[in-house]
Amino acid sequence: MVSWSDLCSDALGHIIGFLSLPDLQSFSAVCRNWRWVAKQNNCSPAEQLPWLMMKEDASTKKRKFYSLTEKRHYYIDIPELHNQCWIGSSFGWLFIVDGKFIPRLFNPFTRECYKLPLLPKFEEDMLQERLVKAVLSHDPSKKSDFTVLFLYRINLTKMAVWRPGENRWRCIPCMDHVADAIFFRGNFYLACSSDLFLISDVGSNPTMKLVMPLLLSGIEYLVDFMGELLLVERHLTNLGEWPHHFHVVTKRFAVHKLNLEEKTSSECKDFGDYAIFLGTSCPLVVNSQLFPGCKRNSIYFTDLGIKLYPEVYGCDDIGVYDFPRDAIEPYYPSEIFHPFAEPPIWLTPNINKL
């Protein structure tokens, strides 16, 4: 009789293609042979729904994650994230910075890490406020020739790029207000003030070129939606009275499809079976049919941290926007308080290696 541990690697690799992250971890713990198969790059796990990464547990110092699919928390010990600031994620990689202004790209599930050149120094107590966004051109797990675009603020918004093998950041002149950045169809694009720009010649002499005008009226996100570029506007409202109870939360979203060739935009109200995940991380688009409980034609969002009284409200602007009903619903228990200093972010488990 053949033992389960003796199943051929091809069969085991096929099984892995249907497993979520928790199931894959259990799979790899069965025996040495199964773990070896799970570690092979040619055995790709199933597409993963983004997890919500939250603050450390005060008693255990373990990082807390929330699985939308299972509606449960996971606590994972990740020492590399202790005393680190982060500004979101891209392809499942976190962009983290320590108190010495040393930035890193870090995959919390595989512990892979890229040490990046030093950042310009500014007030340490304002580190979180100065970091704006980091965007990857490609997944470093799959392509070694990738580019990091980093946005930060020192008086005005500044922009820099880095590629593996370089020992410093290359700065790019940009506009005062950069709403968002994205890598789309082989180029970086920026939503700046009232225009969309393309960054050309990233590898040698990065420069900005005007693509088309934009009409911006909220918090903006650039989203790669199945090969089409969307501009998503997040409209806010204040639930309190100025200046004593300034409590800003999301009211609704508006979505525009950008036609780069014709330099036009049109309103979009239907994502079909897809859902978009927005926050400080790079936007994510998933097929809701692959994940039980994931709402179709919706936008899942996390807090922006726009509050004058964070000790009172914390990061409570968390929900899912239902487009057909123009309504916002909770997806996470509202009674759980999120510290303002560590706003929850979306992180897609990147587990090409274990």
Q: Is 3.40.50.2300 the CATH classification of the domain at 78-214?
A: no
What span, in angstroms and rounded, lies between the C-alpha atoms of 129 and 153?
8
What span, in angstroms and rounded, lies between the C-alpha atoms of 331 and 319?
6
The residues pairing with 156 across neighbouring beta strands, listed in sequence order, are 154
Phi and psi at 319, nearest 5°, equal -175, -175
pLDDT value for 354: 42
Phi and psi at 222, nearest 5°, equal -100, 130
Q: Which residues contact 23 (CB under 8 A, 6 or more apart)?
A: none
pLDDT value for 7: 67
What span, in angstroms and rounded, lies between the C-alpha atoms of 243 and 39?
55
Q: What does the pLDDT look like over 39-92, one tens digit per residue?
A: 665 455 557 788 888 887 777 888 888 888 888 888 888 888 887 878 788 998
- What would the mean pLDDT of 5-28 be, rounded to a whole number? 65
Cα→Cα distances 175→39, 53, 155, 195, 311, Å: 44, 31, 12, 10, 33
What span, in angstroms and rounded, lies between the C-alpha atoms of 308 and 115?
34
* More confident call, 34 vs 145: 145
Fold of 1-46: Monooxygenase (1.20.1280)
* More confident call, 212 vs 306: 212
**Residue 231 clears pLDDT 90, i.e. is over it:** yes
Domain map (residue ranges) of the chain? 1-46, 78-214, 218-343
**What's the whole-model pTM score?**
0.85
Phi and psi at 211, nearest 5°, equal -105, -55
Instruction: Tell me if 157 sits within 8 A of 132, measured CB to CB.
Output: yes
Helical (H) or strand (E) element with 130:
helix 127-130
**Of 174, 205, 201, nearest in space to 186 by CA:** 201
Instruction: Tell me if 149 sits within 8 A of 103, measured CB to CB.
Output: no
Helical (H) or strand (E) element with 11:
helix 9-16
Cα→Cα distances 226→6, 46, 229, 272, 286, Å: 40, 18, 8, 12, 10
Number of CB atoms found within 10 A of residue 314's CB? 19
Instruction: Tell me if 214 sits within 8 A of 222, measured CB to CB.
Output: no
Q: Read off the pLDDT band of 298 (50, 70, 90).
A: very high
* More confident call, 36 vs 258: 258
Mean pLDDT, the chain, whole residue set: 80
**Residue 126 clears pLDDT 50, i.e. is over it:** no
**Residue 216 clears pLDDT 70, i.e. is over it:** yes
